[in-house]
Amino acid sequence: MYDEYHLECDCGSVKFSLSGEPKVRGFCHCEDCRELLKIPYHSVTAWEKEQLKVEAGAESVAVFQHPTKRMQRFYCGTCGETLFNSNAMDWRIVSQLLIRKCYDGELPLPLQSQMHFFYGRRIIDIDDSLPKRD
């Protein structure tokens, strides 16, 4: 049904799209996500670099390079909102929360989480029915 998703930051300066199916969709409990984003765990959709296209406002996209890890955080230079981040495989990681916000508060079904991963590294326990992998 949805094979293309259109997202934008809070101020609308940056617009980008995602196409096809995400490589991964789930909750990530690894320390890299925690450290890069200062969150207890990350609600991710992960995409190949080529699946994400910045369609407007490329000049407003600012990049934070993590000092030691092969990770970057891309954010809007005007409103400061995080757009996505990259990992060591150079995937594009887009928060389910941003997608939800751009879709009237509802995450499209094909993007909903299927599991928790790196659960052994968690700092918070989750009581739900999704599979949990270390």
Taking CB under 5 A as the criterion, the residue among 7, 28, 52, 71 binding Zn ion is 28
56 scored as a contact of Zn ion (CB under 5 A): no
With CB under 5 A as the rule, give the number of residues binding Zn ion.
Answer: 9
Which contiguous run of DSSP H or E holds residue 5? strand 4-8
Cβ-based neighbour number of residue 124 at 10 Å: 7
- x/- contact string, 32-51, with Zn ion (CB under 5 A)? -x------------------
Q: Which of 124, 112, 55 is nearest to 83 (CA)?
A: 55
Taking CB under 5 A as the criterion, the residue among 24, 30, 54, 61 binding Zn ion is 30
Q: Are 44 and 27 a contacting pair, CB within 8 Å?
A: yes
Site of interaction with Zn ion (CB under 5 A): 9, 11, 13, 28, 30, 33, 76, 78-79
